[in-house]
């Protein structure tokens, strides 16, 4: 059981480029959650997805950010036209059905230069 | 708006001492309160959790105390060890949806 796999671990992008972060949930988990962690801060909820559905995107910025969890393959968090303020650690968590059984990945650290 | 307030921001404890981290919330719909431990460069890992129908839960050296009327809960780490040095986050869940995290406490245990 490989746990929640996130890649890449580190990602450097220039301002204006696109960042694509991937998350493969634990085997048997069909619910995926994305969080953002700024330096010296807690984790902020971004989006909650089930296969092919966005359940709650109340934490997603209105522009440039999107997420998907296709029927096949990993969940993708996409950030278009990145800015310096997007630099953060992005964590994915998965659960078998509810938030009571969260397991987090090791995160992707995005640096925008 | 911070749904879960956590203090202190940082904590230094001598080896063998007791580490205490406090959290408070307002939303009475919260029905599950986990604590997560995070080491540098890693994702948060579930440490211990409690539901509001009990006032205390103990697992090894880690204890959660829960005060439903005051809407407060705390983590106590007994006999703190240098290996406990990490950032600790309290969190709360309502209706099985997403977690709301506190801002974290950076614990340093001095040998």
The stretch A18-31 carries a mean pLDDT of: 94
Report the half-sphere exposure of B14 (CA within 13 A, side-chain side).
2
pLDDT band at B97 (very low <50, low <70, confident <90, very high): low
pLDDT at A7 (0 to 100) = 96
Shortest Cα–Cα distance, A65 to chain B (Å): 18
Q: Is the pLDDT of residue A41 over 90?
A: no
pLDDT given at position B39: 94
Minimal-distance CA residue of chain A relative to B104: A42
Q: Do B43 and A33 touch (CB under 8 A)?
A: no
β-partners of residue B4 are B25
Residues of B in Cβ contact (< 8 Å) with A91:
43-44
Spatial CA neighbour of B8 closest among B111, B92, B107, B109 = B107
A39 pLDDT band, cuts 50/70/90, is confident
pLDDT at A31: 92
- Cross-chain CB nearest to A99 (options B42, B45, B98): B98
* Structure tokens given for A95: 């659960």
User: A16 pLDDT band (50/70/90 cuts)?
Assistant: very high
> Dihedral of CA A78/A82/A39/B27: which sign?
negative
Alpha-carbon gap: B93 to the closest alpha carbon of chain A (Å): 7
Q: In this predicted structure, what is the pLDDT of residue B96?
A: 62
Of the listed ranges A8-12, A53-57, A81-85, B70-74, the least confidently predicted one is A53-57
Q: Taking the mean position of all CA atoms in its chain, how far away is CA A47?
A: 8
Chain B nearest-CA residue for A48: B98
Predicted local confidence at residue B1, as pLDDT: 66
From the candidates B97, B103, B106, which should be mutated to test the interface with A, based on the most A CB atoms within 10 A?
B97
Asked if A45 and B100 come within 8 Å (Cβ–Cβ), the reply is: yes
Q: Do B96 and A98 touch (CB under 8 A)?
A: yes
pLDDT score of A1 more than 60: no
> Taking all residues of chain A, what is their mean pLDDT, rounded to a whole number?
92
Tell me how far CA of residue B76 lies from CA of A85, B5, B23, B42, in angstroms: 35, 17, 12, 22
Q: Is B28 exposed, middle or buried (0-12, 13-18, 19+ CB in 10 A)?
A: exposed
Q: pLDDT class for A108, splitting at 50, 70, 90?
A: very high
State the pLDDT at residue B6. Answer: 96
pLDDT digit string (tens) for B5-21? 999 999 999 999 999 99
Q: Are A82 and A18 in contact (CB under 8 A)?
A: yes
Query: Considering CB atoms only, which of A91, A100, A105 is closest to B32?
Result: A100
Residue A42 has pLDDT above 60, yes or no: yes
pLDDT tens for B28-85 read: 989 899 999 999 889 999 999 999 899 999 999 999 999 999 999 999 999 999 999 9
Task: Say which of B32, B41, B101 has its CB closest to residue A43.
Answer: B101
């Amino acid at each position: 059981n490989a746990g929640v796999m996130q890649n890449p671990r580190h990602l450097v992008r220039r301002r204006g480029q696109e960042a694509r972060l991937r998350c493969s949930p634990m085997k048997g988990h069909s619910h995926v959650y994305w969080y953002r962690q700024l330096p010296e801060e807690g984790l902020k909820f971004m989006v909650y997805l089930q296969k092919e559905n966005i359940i709650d995107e109340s934490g997603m910025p209105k522009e440039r950010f999107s997420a998907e969890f296709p029927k096949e393959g990993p969940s993708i968090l996409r950030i278009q036209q990145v800015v310096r303020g997007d630099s953060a650690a992005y964590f994915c968590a998965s659960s078998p059905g509810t938030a009571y059984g969260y397991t987090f990945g090791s995160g992707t650290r995005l640096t925008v230069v | 708006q911070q749904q879960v307030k956590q203090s202190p921001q940082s904590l230094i404890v001598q080896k063998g001492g007791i580490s205490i981290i406090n959290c408070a919330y307002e939303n009475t719909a919260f029905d599950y309160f986990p604590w997560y431990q995070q080491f540098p460069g890693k994702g948060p890992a579930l440490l211990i959790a409690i539901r509001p129908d009990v006032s205390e839960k103990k697992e090894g050296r880690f204890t959660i105390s829960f005060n439903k009327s005051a809407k407060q809960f705390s983590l106590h780490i007994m006999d703190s060890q240098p290996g406990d040095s990490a950032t600790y986050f309290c969190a709360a869940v309502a209706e099985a949806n997403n977690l709301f995290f506190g801002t974290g406490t950076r614990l340093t245990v001095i040998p």
